[in-house]
Amino acid sequence: MGGASPPEHPAAPAADRDEAVDPATARALGGWLRRTQVDYRQPSLAAAIARDGRLVWADAVGSSDGRGVTPASPDTAYRIASVTKTFVAVAVLQLVDAGQVDLDDPVGRHVPDAPVGDATVSQLLSHTSGLQAETDGDWWERSPGYPWEALVGMGAQRRFRPGRKYHYSNLGYAVLGRLLETRTGLPWDVGIERTVLAPLGLRRTRRLAPADAATGWGVHPHAALLHHEPVADYLAMGPAGQLWSTARDLAVWGSFLGGRVPGPLSGELLGQMREPWAVNDQPGLPWVGAHGLGLQLWNVEGARHAGHTGSVPGFTCEVRADLGTGDVVVTLGSATTGFLGGLGLLQLFQDRLPALPDPWTADPSQAATLDLLGTWYWGTTAYQICADVDGGLVATVPAIARSGALRPDGPDRWIGLSGYFDGEPLVVGRDPAGRAAWLDIASFRLTRTPYAADGNVPGGVDERGWH
């Protein structure tokens, strides 16, 4: 499952070594952090930014105790709330990788007493099972937790038909945590520690708070006063939001989720986590949010971001990866009220340090696909096919601004990876001399010239040719 483990942490932040960003950028990022802490009245606020899997900046402001005694740092642990779900999702998908669970399995196959046991594993991961959002008991985030049997005994209702729509369900992730326990024989957090946290070196990410963790507070809306928030052990609801972590650990985690560091999950399933399985439709607002298998997805002016937000009484958290650039931003706060996450911080960083492309180098291996490259025609519409840097192809239709990548899938066969041709095959047809004479993509015939006479075009070509 997955590749070799990366180092325990990316490069150390500016506080521990020479700055990885220039001093002016560090001041600008630190200024954003301090203004946000003041504007949103956070007792403490920590943040980190990684680029291509390496931590390039981290800072914190305020005090972990909320009273000015112990300064917060990028290594201060905060409760990360629903960002916990991303770890649970990866652990469940590890079971899929291992063939112990199928995404289409009804969850009742693995958790016989699960509420709505006919919901599939993928529906629970993507919040499309229709299961109710919360428990029927007391406000579970501020109450002593329930063991699994007590949680099941409360009953649960389905609010919507399975697969009909996105409906966020904390209860659904309690079910997924139970699935981990029934399949591994371990408490959900112990299993995650062994198969997810340890391979990535996330030593400060755990179910229970360390002694030096940040204190969570409620801040009075009209006065500079604090109200201590209780820190309950959520027990069966723990997989929905109990883990603690640090800005430094979560920068590694975001880089793994964004595909920039290797980790304990196959690339195929990690890719499915980042695919939109359901749109978060909010009337009156544009469709900017969606959900994959355990990840929230955002469309930021055409850029795809993936990660998760989290909030419980006393804490807020966000992990966000720009999938195009590989940049990751992490923000952690110690107040019940939020501060809009780290998108503004990420945009400030990218404005000052825009991502640069990798240097161009020759790639002799692309000679193997040379006879497939160039212009082909579907009817009279031109397709441009070029080699990609990872051994694949890219097909572009300039007339309609459509472009999609393809990966090899055997001799003279390719599979589309995006857009209209996602998952569809491209097959090369050759003439008696072995030259590429046509391409079939999802049954569409492409030839070197429009309606080529030697292209075996379905329906034939006019015997008079072009006239």
Q: Residue-wise pLDDT tens for the chain (467 aa)?
A: 333 333 333 333 333 333 589 999 999 999 999 999 999 999 999 999 999 999 999 999 999 999 999 999 999 999 999 999 999 999 999 999 999 999 999 999 999 999 989 999 999 999 999 998 888 888 888 988 999 999 998 888 889 888 889 999 999 999 999 999 999 999 999 999 999 999 999 999 999 999 999 999 999 999 999 999 999 999 999 999 999 999 999 999 999 999 999 999 999 999 999 999 999 888 888 777 899 999 999 999 889 999 999 999 999 999 999 999 999 999 999 999 989 999 999 999 999 999 888 888 998 989 989 999 999 999 999 999 999 878 899 998 888 777 889 999 999 999 998 878 889 999 999 999 999 999 998 888 999 999 988 878 888 888 888 88
The position carrying tokens 């999702």 is: 89
The alpha helices in 228-313, defined as continuous H runs, are: 247-257, 267-273
The alpha helices in 243-342, defined as continuous H runs, are: 247-257, 267-273
DSSP letter string over 195-225?
IIIHHHT-TT-BSS--TTPPPPEEE-TTSS-
> pLDDT tens digit string along 166-202?
999 999 999 999 999 999 999 999 999 999 999 999 9
Rounded CA gap, 272 and 250, in Å? 20
Alpha-carbon Rg for the chain, nearest whole angstrom, is 25
Rounded to 5°, angle at Cα 47 from 30 and 263: 140
Q: What is the pLDDT of residue 138?
A: 85
> pLDDT tens digit string along 380-392?
999 999 998 788 9
The kind and range of the H/E element at 36 are helix 23-39
If one counts every other C-beta atom within 10 angstroms of the C-beta of residue 160, the result is 14
Q: Which residues 6+ apart lie within 8 Å of 240 measured at CB?
A: 82, 84, 85, 170, 171, 173, 174, 177, 234
The position carrying tokens 């998108």 is: 343
Q: Is the dihedral of CA 297, 257, 99, 189 positive or negative?
A: negative
DSSP letter string over 333-399?
ESBSS---TTHHHHHHHHHHS---PPPP---GGGGGGGGG-EEEEETTEEEEEEE-TTS-EEEEEGG
Q: Is 114 helix (H, G, I), strand (E, B) or coil?
A: coil
Q: What is the pLDDT of residue 404?
A: 87
Q: Is the dihedral of CA 378, 382, 387, 389 positive or negative?
A: negative
Q: Is the dihedral of CA 253, 257, 263, 269 positive or negative?
A: positive
Whole-number Cα distances in Å, 62 to 25, 78, 204, 323, 440: 21, 13, 20, 31, 61
Q: What is the pLDDT of residue 19?
A: 53
Report the predicted TM-score, pTM, of the whole model to 2 decimal places. Answer: 0.88
Q: What is the pLDDT of residue 437?
A: 92
Instruction: Tell me the β-bridge partners of 172.
Output: none
The position carrying tokens 């629970």 is: 124
